[in-house]
A and B are shown apart, each in its own frame.
Chain A
Amino acid sequence: MAESENIVVETAEKIFADLADAQTINSDTTGSWKAPLWQALSEAGLPLAWVPDDLGGSGASLAEGFGVLNAAGRFAIAVPLAETMLAGWLLAQAKITSPDGEMTVVPASPKDRITLNADGSLSGRARGVPFAKAAKHFAVLAHGNGGISIALVDAAKGRIEAGINVGYDNSDTVTLDKVEPITIKPAPKGFDQTTLMLMGGVVRSLQIAGALESMLDISVRYSNERVAFEKKISKFQAVQHNLARLAGESAAALAAATSAADAVANATSFDDAVYLEAASAKIRCAEAAEKGGAIAHQVHGAIGFTMEHILHRYSLRALAWRDDFGSESHWAVELGKRVAARGADELWPLVASR
């Protein structure tokens, strides 16, 4: 997908540039930027980009939506755009119409489980649900006796304990106690919680890759401005080599995330190959968030450690995004088990198949 040819991504980028400038947001203590940003995104049909027209959305392709989320990462967007897109995508799997307004997905961790009770109500607890407090509706994946179901739930029916993640965004605990869903339908055959976590992981990978691109960009710019020992710090070899490593981490994240997004966008099912792509992206992007973010801060010195500076908007969010939809540790164990189960001589054929 060539970004310059992609009108959906360009539209999103324009809105981000106009209404989500990092410096402006960082200086704003009132949060007054949120409403106009969300309104503009909604008017452009972006929160429901992955929902077909007949289910209330704007019917963009998976690839276009992934492009939007990579851009959202570059701007470290702190409204539930990714979460609403994912929720709309999840509901659309079961042909459930998406409502307007902010949504998020429940659960957001492979460890948590929501149960579909015999009476048709939903119960369970989900930790680390991004933007649950801001959401008007939840898209819920539930396990019942008859298999997996997907449900639309009024957020007001759940109990929400607000939490804040490393990146200062809401990451909340949602408890459903015999909650009646607005709509509930069976998930399509083969669709399970792992599918949702892999998809969420690809989304977070793209956001991390985007944030790293911006970290590289602002670090390079800063190093060309800041003078120390009577020269620009970009002229010091130690700084150059650090930035080259940051470029490497940013490149690895970008390659892993866009490859996984491409794999999902063209997949007919979440098979072993898509699993390899999606899990690898989350693992590698999480590693890059750590290594790359540390370098970006090192280059900036003390100024980058201040709330006043925009760097933390990218660096801390990239770290926080590692935790959603299964951490890199979780996916590494699961991928390792799969590789071991396939056997040593099947490892290379799997890698080479991508």
Chain B
Amino acid sequence: MTAALRFDPIRLPPECEQLRKEVRAFLAEEIAAGTFDPNKPNREDTDAPEFSRRVGAKGWLGMTWPKKYGGQERSFLERYVVTEEMRVANAPTRRFFVADRQSGPVLLKYAPEHIKMDILPRICRGELCFAIGMSEPNSGSDLFAAKTRATKTDGGYLINGSKIWTSSAHIADYMIAIFRTSPPTKENRRHGLTQFLVKMKQPGIEVNPIGQITGQFEFNEVVFTDYFVPDDHVLGEIDGAWKQATSELAYERSGPERFLETYYVLTELVRAVGDKPDTRSAEGIGRLVAQLHTMRRMSVSVAGMLQAGKEPVVEASIVKDIGTVWEQQLPHRVRDLAAFVEETASNRETLEKQLEFALRTAPKLTIQGGTTEVLRGIIARGLGLR
């Protein structure tokens, strides 16, 4: 066999179910207290710093990290449960989500000890928001074409250039970014980029909001002008960011956020058709639920394999590929079925409002965090095609 893909039928262990109850109870309290409305999915421009702190106080941020950095040393499967429950409830996770999923793990691996001791506990307490500085105006999927320079100076580097499509840069306290420290070599065009920890809200950084087709201002252009980064903010090997960029991707690609982004419209459709759906509605809902269940089983399987110390890189890319295509199509399929919902359905207005937002959101889902084309290239490599 050329391609031995594995999706072991991994089940969440019993401790996850207790945790799930706690998360649901917490979210129900937050909803009751008016922190957020689960029927309003346009959470992306909702900054909820107090909510973030309360999630941190629960011990649900950085929960897999070592205790000495504020973590709980719990499993990735437990983190999985927290993530999916927050996502399904449309909780306002923007402030902490990137730090918890991505930036924290990078710091854990590459930051000097004193920086880890300083920053990681604050992420765990829900006090810090992170952004990711990858794309540039002429470098999106082609990450290694990045041009924004980091020029060596006394005690650090001077940054000049710009990043773009940077989610949450307007509220972020830090950014983890890649900058060019050397030109690429003939042998290796990926050479010459270095990963840095960047403190935001400082002179030399300008954040310009960019309007999105959803009507939100959630991503930004970030312009650096002689912005100083001290030496100890270099993360990992100088010129060697390309070696570091791939290892964490399996976590980033296969989580529940990769297929649940538009889930709310399915719930609302089920509500709208009532308890005795006609054949067409039942068939449509049945298929969508079967697809959702399958996606989740694949995603849990990858999470379980990661927890077991395996490296299911191709499997994780597959989860993101078919998960994002699915969540992109979901609002359209729900719209197909909503055409037959009774005018008198009590939640008709909610469903229509949600569909409007989901249809506007859908195009980005197969672009953000690695396009479908890039993912399929990775899968093709895993299959031995390139």
Count chain A CB atoms within 10 A of each CB in B275, B286, B301 and give the residue with the most: B286
Q: Tell yes or no: B97 within 8 A of A by CB.
A: no
Chain B residues whose CB sits within 8 angstroms of the CB of A333 once the complex forms: 279, 282-283, 286
Q: Tell yes or no: B287 within 8 A of A by CB.
A: yes
Flag if B377 contacts A240 (CB, 8 Å).
yes
Bound state CA distance, A347 and B88, in angstroms?
11
A234-B386, A333-B282 are known contacts. Are A217 and B2 too (CB-CB below 8 A)? yes
B286 in complex: contacting residue of A255, A283, A352, CB < 8 Å: A283
Chain B residues whose CB sits within 8 angstroms of the CB of A216 once the complex forms: 2-3, 383
> Which residues 89-135 of A have a CB within 8 angstroms of B?
none
A255-B297, A279-B290 are known contacts. Are A343 and B7 too (CB-CB below 8 A)? no
With both beta carbons as reference points, the residue of chain B lying nearest to A74 in the complex is identified as B1
> Which residues 273-300 of A have a CB within 8 angstroms of B?
276-277, 279-281, 283-284, 287
Q: Tell yes or no: B277 within 8 A of A by CB.
A: yes
Flag if B297 contacts A244 (CB, 8 Å).
no
A140-178 vs B, Cβ < 8 Å mask (1 yes, 0 no): 000000000000000000000000000000000000000
Chain B residues whose CB sits within 8 angstroms of the CB of A259 once the complex forms: 7, 9, 294, 297, 301
Flag if A241 contacts B290 (CB, 8 Å).
no
Count chain A CB atoms within 10 A of each CB in B2, B7, B267 and give the residue with the most: B7
Rounded to whole Å, the gap between the CB of A147 and the closest CB of chain B is 27
Q: Tell yes or no: A340 within 8 A of B by CB.
A: yes
Instruction: State the interface size on chain A (CB cutoff 8 A).
Output: 57
A241-B373, A332-B290 are known contacts. Are A217 and B1 too (CB-CB below 8 A)? yes
A354 in complex: contacting residue of B293, B382, B384, CB < 8 Å: B293
A244 in complex: contacting residue of B88, B276, B290, B383, CB < 8 Å: B383
Chain A residues whose CB sits within 8 angstroms of the CB of B284 once the complex forms: 332, 336
A276-B289, A280-B289, A348-B267 are known contacts. Are A341 and B379 too (CB-CB below 8 A)? no
Q: Tell yes or no: B138 within 8 A of A by CB.
A: no
Q: Tell yes or no: A252 within 8 A of B by CB.
A: yes
Q: Tell yes or no: B273 within 8 A of A by CB.
A: yes
A255 in complex: contacting residue of B292, B294, B377, B385, CB < 8 Å: B294
Rounded to whole Å, the gap between the CB of A136 and the closest CB of chain B is 35
Q: Tell yes or no: B285 within 8 A of A by CB.
A: yes
Q: Tell yes or no: A247 within 8 A of B by CB.
A: yes
> Which residues 264-288 of B have a CB within 8 angstroms of A?
266-268, 270-271, 273-277, 279, 281-287
Flag if B20 contacts A224 (CB, 8 Å).
no
Stretch at the interface among B212-220, B233-241, B315-323: B315-323
A241 in complex: contacting residue of B88, B263, B315, B380, CB < 8 Å: B380
Flag if A341 contacts B275 (CB, 8 Å).
yes
Rounded to whole Å, the gap between the CB of B278 and the closest CB of chain A is 10
A213-250 vs B, Cβ < 8 Å mask (1 yes, 0 no): 10011001101100000000011010111011101101
Flag if A351 contacts B7 (CB, 8 Å).
no
Flag if B376 contacts A256 (CB, 8 Å).
no
A244-B379, A339-B285, A343-B275 are known contacts. Are A252 and B386 too (CB-CB below 8 A)? no
Number of CB contacts from chain A to chain B under 8 A: 190
Flag if B286 contacts A331 (CB, 8 Å).
yes
A333-B286, A336-B283 are known contacts. Are A220 and B292 too (CB-CB below 8 A)? no
Q: Tell yes or no: B84 within 8 A of A by CB.
A: yes
Q: Tell yes or no: A334 within 8 A of B by CB.
A: yes
Flag if B286 contacts A279 (CB, 8 Å).
yes
Chain A residues whose CB sits within 8 angstroms of the CB of B11 once the complex forms: 262, 354
With both beta carbons as reference points, the residue of chain A lying nearest to B277 in the complex is identified as A340
With both beta carbons as reference points, the residue of chain A lying nearest to B317 in the complex is identified as A244
Flag if B380 contacts A244 (CB, 8 Å).
yes
Bound state CA distance, A221 and B385, in angstroms?
9
Chain A residues whose CB sits within 8 angstroms of the CB of B276 once the complex forms: 340-341
Q: Tell yes or no: A335 within 8 A of B by CB.
A: yes
Rounded to whole Å, the gap between the CB of A259 and the closest CB of chain B is 4
Chain A residues whose CB sits within 8 angstroms of the CB of B285 once the complex forms: 332, 335-336, 339-340
Chain B residues whose CB sits within 8 angstroms of the CB of A213 once the complex forms: 1, 5
Q: Tell yes or no: B22 within 8 A of A by CB.
A: no
Chain B residues whose CB sits within 8 angstroms of the CB of A351 once the complex forms: 289, 292-293, 296
Chain B residues whose CB sits within 8 angstroms of the CB of A329 once the complex forms: 283
Q: Tell yes or no: A87 within 8 A of B by CB.
A: no
Flag if B385 contacts A332 (CB, 8 Å).
no
Flag if A223 contacts B385 (CB, 8 Å).
yes
Bound state CA distance, A246 and B267, in angstroms?
29
A284 in complex: contacting residue of B271, B294, B380, CB < 8 Å: B294
Rounded to whole Å, the gap between the CB of A6 and the closest CB of chain B is 13
Which positions in A face B, CB cutoff 8 Å? 213, 216-217, 220-221, 223-224, 234-235, 237, 239-241, 243-245, 247-248, 250-252, 254-256, 258-259, 261-263, 276-277, 279-281, 283-284, 287, 328-329, 331-337, 339-341, 343-345, 347-348, 351-352, 354
Q: A235-B386, A247-B382, A347-B267 are in contact. List 4 more A-B contacts (CB 8 A).
A: A217-B3, A243-B380, A244-B376, A335-B290
**7 A-B pairs with the lowest CB-CB distances in the bound complex, closest first:** A336-B282, A332-B286, A336-B286, A344-B271, A262-B9, A240-B380, A335-B286
Which positions in B face A, CB cutoff 8 Å? 1-3, 5, 7-9, 11, 20, 84-85, 88, 263, 266-268, 270-271, 273-277, 279, 281-287, 289-298, 301, 314-315, 318, 321-322, 373, 375-377, 379-380, 382-386
Cβ contacts A to B, 5 pairs, < 8 Å: A247-B314, A250-B5, A252-B295, A280-B290, A351-B293
